[in-house]
Structure 1
């Protein structure tokens, strides 16, 4: 049967756009951006000069010390030209009015940036976008370990250097692509995948291990030997800061959860055959476990694998498979006569996929997969036949931890958005922050994200001190409880943020677009990688197994 996959032009080609990785090893204080360098060459005007241009056909305004000529643009203004006159901003400083309606990134778009004709004499801009790699100065926008004047028992200078380089990379390489893909629904470009592979970000998202040996990580800012789970967590956090929930998954999340079973349970020959192309971004993979009749109930899967000599014959379906639309391989759970078994299935005859429409963008490549009597070499068996449940359950720990890392970073971004908006939004003549109910919601959001951060860091520290098998035995319950807690706080924060932004939180563009997208997709974390109720119950059941017999009140 022919493959039903979207055509991916040039997906196997080597990108001609080489990446200067050395550029991402930056000092703590970023170099001045082009945003500021351009200020020096601007023509200067006095306030009196600008004030003369306040009539129809001759309209200038000031936004954050910059002068804009809107004479021709006025009638193209989305709200109509009359709004500019009705607001009383013609020929005047419109900074407060502008930032009450628009995000600052509007001013950097080419079609609006070209309207700028100069600046006001003696004034300097007070509002600017962050330079690539720069930390936000908004309270609680960054975790404590990145905040000036604070210490951490977990993070070192190595982690701080790595974070600066990672943020610069994601802001410059991934952020623009993320915005395009979220809107278009098309999968991430091969060019960006190539750059991620060259920086070894794809490999680092799998955590520390032998797969990093001999690799130059993000231009050499950290060595494979010192790379740990805190470094990996930084990658997930920085990715979540610049990407929607759909793009986080679309940027090869299927690889992050589909490759570990190969590395931990595959034969050396299989690893050498498959893994290099996956880590190089030349081929793609998904974890194919969930089915229409079995999600969190992994033991209830119905896809079957029947032994036929040196092959397995696989028949069945999988549903909600992240990256499945464009995957070349599928790490697949199957039922056999000897019990649950995991196989690596390559796309070929009998394998077909089709897109599933979900609440978030189709950039994630969420798929329904059909296996129709697919012949799979026995050599592609991962782990022992009948021991597939252990293979998958041990793999869930890392997947759930990754979801937690991304979710906390996304929640922190929402806190930052709300603090900015509540501080600049004027209602009844005062900023939103003057209202006790708004401050109460902000307090709850901040408290939740800080609680999540500290529990996450504690668990991550334990991961660094344990072997893979120890993590499977000791951390499955704590990670399950952590994920339940984080996913619930995410939905609570999404609700608070929506109420703080009001009607703007309901629109896909403009001031509240980040809030709208987060509110729409925050529930995904409660379902993916294990439903939160199931994980909470699992965490308690595992704790009860360890209850001492002599424990009594």
Structure 2
């Protein structure tokens, strides 16, 4: 179906991203997969081209284009090339908005130029070994000591934590027995700070190039000047970006679903079975036709949500609906695409196998499908 989401400037940006991926990523991507990590200089290369600094104000070296559609283009082109650039999506769609939206004048001058250039890479540390979606249950603590906070605790499942130069840590700075959500603060911990340890990389089903790690904080002295936003207001700060985080996951889900269908159409046209091309069988045609219809429905919903978000009109409930529908569609379609690939689809060297492994987590992170259903049902008065 004809899409009206993008303008000429986005399509020019798309060509820039597509060319970069073809030249700098695709030829070496298998090596990155074997290493389980993208090289750190990838982000400085992206910074030099202006690909990752679009949302940073011009006075700090960025593009001054706070238009989420540029982020959408990056995800779509990565899916088209069947690559993932480590934790870049989390850096751009989840973490950077906290810096641009909450940093004070001094912090903006200190951090935003490096973020725009790719010299500073970011992560956010919310999940703990004993707490996932329940942010109010966070036990990592930070106690005020003069001009510092002393931080103690542990975090897990931290995307981009291996490479990150700046980590936003959600920590409890006060306790209110009557309100579990109160007393949480955002502290920016800089790489190399004594007591801050980056632990092991966690082995995952998919997302092989994304560094997902454990972090620990043992008496880490964080300058009070690194408090991001208002002390004790982290819960409300985090809530303000949840819609974009969930939308970003939906963007990737739809783009990867499209890539899976494109790969499968090409495969069944080439694969021969019982003297016929696999594409000649009615079952193959009907399966791909049904998948195409599901994809277009998801794309229309997603484009409507992105347009609303660009206008600052996307509600948390609609973001939840979009994430739920798009990721569940991805799960069904990619599974059926792998089935049409037969045994080859189960081999990790095949692109469809990588898309299959990567797809499973989209129904978990950023809020599980069950959490999305809870949010939606509450909007129905249930």
TM-score by length of 2: 0.90
User: Which residue of 1 is the match for residue 236 of structure 2?
Assistant: 390
Counting matched residue pairs gives 373
Deviations 1:478-531 (A, max 9, x none): 11121111111111112101210000011122xxx1111111221111112221
In structure 1, how many angstroms separate the alpha carbons of the residues matched to 2:151 and 2:343? 50
SS state of the match for residue 155, structure 1? Answer: coil
User: Which residue of 2 is the match for residue 360 of structure 1?
Assistant: 206
Residue 197 to residue 410, structure 1, CA distance change in 2 (3 Å): same
In structure 2, how many angstroms separate the alpha carbons of the residues matched to 1:274 and 1:213? 12
Contact 1:289 1:333 in 2 (8 A): yes
User: Which residue of 2 is the match for residue 288 of structure 1?
Assistant: 125
SS state of the match for residue 508, structure 1? Answer: coil
Contact 1:252 1:323 in 2 (8 A): no
In structure 2, how many angstroms separate the alpha carbons of the residues matched to 1:314 and 1:216? 32
1:193 correspondence with 2:43: yes
2:290 to 423, 444, 455: 444
User: Which residue of 1 is the match for residue 69 of structure 2?
Assistant: 230
Divergent runs of 4+, >4 A: 212-217
SS state of the match for residue 37, structure 2? Answer: coil
Residue 252 of structure 1: CA displacement? 6.4
Contact 1:249 1:323 in 2 (8 A): yes
User: Which residue of 2 is the match for residue 484 of structure 1?
Assistant: 324
Contact 2:85 2:209 in 1 (8 A): no
SS state of the match for residue 438, structure 1? Answer: helix
Residue 277 of structure 1: CA displacement? 1.5
Structure 1 residues 86-101: aligned runs within 5 Å: none
Residue 351 of structure 1: CA displacement? 0.5
User: Which residue of 2 is the match for residue 541 of structure 1?
Assistant: 378
1:502 correspondence with 2:342: yes
Residue 186 to residue 258, structure 1, CA distance change in 2 (3 Å): same
TM-score by length of 1: 0.64
RMSD between aligned alpha carbons?
A: 2.2
User: Which residue of 2 is the match for residue 111 of structure 1?
Assistant: none
Contact 2:331 2:360 in 1 (8 A): yes
Residue 485 to residue 212, structure 1, CA distance change in 2 (3 Å): farther
Of the structure 1 ranges 377-386 and 495-504, higher mean CA displacement relative to structure 2 is found in 377-386
Residue 322 of structure 1: CA displacement? 0.6
Gaps of 5+ in 1: 1-143, 146-151, 218-223, 546-553
In structure 1, how many angstroms separate the alpha carbons of the residues matched to 2:206 and 2:58? 32
Contact 1:351 1:370 in 2 (8 A): yes
1:270 to 107, 113, 136: 107
In structure 2, how many angstroms separate the alpha carbons of the residues matched to 1:432 and 1:315? 58
Residue 167 to residue 187, structure 1, CA distance change in 2 (3 Å): closer
Deviations 1:71-130 (A, max 9, x none): xxxxxxxxxxxxxxxxxxxxxxxxxxxxxxxxxxxxxxxxxxxxxxxxxxxxxxxxxxxx
2:6 to 155, 158, 162: 155
Contact 1:185 1:362 in 2 (8 A): yes
In structure 2, how many angstroms separate the alpha carbons of the residues matched to 1:360 and 1:232? 22
User: Which residue of 2 is the match for residue 346 of structure 1?
Assistant: 190
Contact 2:149 2:221 in 1 (8 A): yes
SS state of the match for residue 315, structure 1? Answer: strand
